[in-house]
Chain A
């Protein structure tokens, strides 16, 4: 689908400089399902909404809120709207034409929750850009902790490591799998860690006992994971990659542990 299918719509109004505003100066645009499917992959700015600038088919940019990845409303206009106004606006937005050509999302850094950080402009008119959108999503996810990251899947041959203070790590099942919701890191990132103490620092482990037991995880392809960056916590700097195995891993996917020096 291209720009022709991205129908923007207006609320109860008349055209001004090529744009359509309601009698209260409101601008509401329905977001097409194609664009919606892209937007839902990106983090929210606040609960239930994203925030950014939209390039309209008129050539004008408008900053505003994207509600539920389905409706764009110009900044400053949401405040005065009642629930009935919003319902009317969304209804009318189904029948009139005004397109969103491009959206520039603004991300809210979780570590500050102050101000905004502009991420990257991405066009929504060209389906060939989906690969770059995916890359953008992954890049954004990596600036967040794994809990806030979208679910992705492993590929066949991917290797992961888990550092633990315990030889009998209880997240490893008797059949050598991982239980659901278990943390680990990528094999590449684990190469930065040579001692149990370094593991505590890089993965911001709450348990200060030396995490010098290193397990290797070789999940099947298409295993669900969330991947992010370890945020500073518990007096540790973090900075490593953390991976959550959403549903755990299958039998015989975990080996080890190898014992590293404690310090």
Chain B
């Protein structure tokens, strides 16, 4: 593997750049909420950053719940073959 070509993503510094870039990209998408007049079918969806907050916390809740579910549901790979 050592003689293999080094990819841009192989360097941790670049992965950190992507991570920071994602933060900036995400925050930039909040800007339109300040001047865009939104037409929403549901009242509270027009709140500032509603979709951003919902997306973020829905995913955190999803992952934490799923992780907890593992304790109950997870079995070895050959569970049904034994």
Task: Judge: A and B partners, yes or no.
Answer: no
Please list the residues of chain A having a beta carbon within 8 angstroms of any beta carbon in chain B.
none
B-to-A contact residues, CB < 8 Å: none
